[in-house]
Amino acid sequence: MQYTHLGRTGLIVSRLCLGTMMFGPIRSEKESHTMLDKAFDLGINFIDTANMYGSQDFAGETEKIIGNWLAQGNGRREQIVLTTKVFGPMGHGVNDRGLSAYHIRQACENSLRRLKTDHIDIYFMHHIDRGEPTSADKESWGLPDRQISRPSHLKHETPWEEIWQAMELLVQQGKVLYIGSSNFAGWHIAQACEKAAARSFLGLTCEQSIYNLSNRTVELEVIPACREYGLGLIAWSPLAVGLLAGKLPEGEIGRRRHLDETIKTHHEKLIAYDSLCKELGEKPADVALAWLLHNPVLTAPIIGPRTVAQLTGSLRALEIHLNDGIMGRLEKIWPGPGGEAPEAYAW
């Protein structure tokens, strides 16, 4: 296994991060524990989860599964870097979501209880606080359709002063060690970091964004912001929900329907990509991960293997070297936004 520092911090994490979103709804607790055991044996010390994962009844099922695994002891908790997230709805109450100090405190206590641990190593804000959820959000989250008014002179987001005060308290209490962001825009990262610096607080240490060969929007402003402020980038959906993994396994019906239109749209690119991977003698999934790992800002991609064999096979990505010629060919197949802003679109 290879390791690196998490951004500008002294924390050392594995170059592959194990994602756990399927623990509970797709994978049983026994299967999930087998996956965690193997990852631990392989030297993967970076485990990513969220309080929302695992069920539709706000039960935090995935955190409970991980907590039961940690409770088995044998040095598990002491040897892993454990993350979880706050923001999404965890109940039907009007304060059971978002980034208010009220919800951050409550969500952290509940996550600690489910995870059966006394601290969270990296506590992610799962999203920038956008205020009142949309009707679509309420429907998908199972929330009552209540309208919440807010004084017109105030922003819709929870103010950073409130967020950082709540996070600082958790750090002071030893319940959280580092803070991360997820799905932030570049200007959100800059704003959050500047507000934290004004309080002499470490602030954000990493950003978790969607990033893969077919979705490179973060190259415009998020990656430059991470580099400027010393944040490690953690890539979710590194295989674009299976688009970059080669032949989609049978039985993934739901994913197949979701991918059909995307596959049609990228048909020619996928043919060229598959041909290049065959020429290299490597699996498409491993090449996609290796491409991400070549970015110096990237700390780790989050992998979500379906089987232990896939988990073990993912380590091949750490050994693949993509020279300038291959990187150039990948750029032609999967062109990015044209570089960083503003040069990508202006003189």
**How far is 244 from 162, CA to CA, in rounded Å?**
40
User: How many beta carbons lie within 10 A of that of residue 72, not counting itself?
Assistant: 11
Q: Is 53 a catalytic residue?
A: yes
**How far is 83 from 123, CA to CA, in rounded Å?**
6
- Of 205, 260, 216, 270, nearest to 238 by C-alpha is 216
Which residue out of 3, 53, 102, 345 is catalytically annotated? 53
What domains, with CATH codes, occur in the chain? 3-333 (3.20.20.100)
Q: Binning pLDDT at 50, 70 and 90, where does residue 250 land?
A: very low
**How far is 178 from 122, CA to CA, in rounded Å?**
5
Q: Residue 90: helix, strand or coil by DSSP?
A: coil
Q: For strand 3-5 and strand 12-14, is the pairing parallel, antiparallel, or unpaired?
A: antiparallel
**DSSP letter (8 states) at residue 56:** S
**How far is 321 from 293, CA to CA, in rounded Å?**
10
With contact defined as beta carbons under 8 Å apart, do 279 and 290 qualify?
A: no
The answer, yes or no, to whether residue 251 has pLDDT greater than 50, is no
The residue type at 76: R
Q: Residue 105: helix, strand or coil by DSSP?
A: helix
Instruction: Give the pair of three-digit tokens for residue 205.
Output: 């240490």
3-state secondary structure labels for all residues of 199-267:
CCCCCEEEEEEECECCECHHHCCHHHHHHHHCCEEEEECCCCCCCCCCCCCCCCHHHHHHHHHHHHHCH
pLDDT one-digit tens code per residue, 118-163 = 999 999 999 998 766 666 665 665 666 655 555 554 555 799 999 9
Instruction: Give the pair of three-digit tokens for residue 332.
Output: 């032609």
pLDDT one-digit tens code per residue, 160-215 = 999 999 999 999 999 999 999 999 999 999 999 999 999 999 999 999 999 999 99
pLDDT one-digit tens code per residue, 110-120 = 999 999 999 99
With contact defined as beta carbons under 8 Å apart, do 138 and 131 qualify?
A: no
The residue type at 205: T
The structure's pTM equals: 0.91
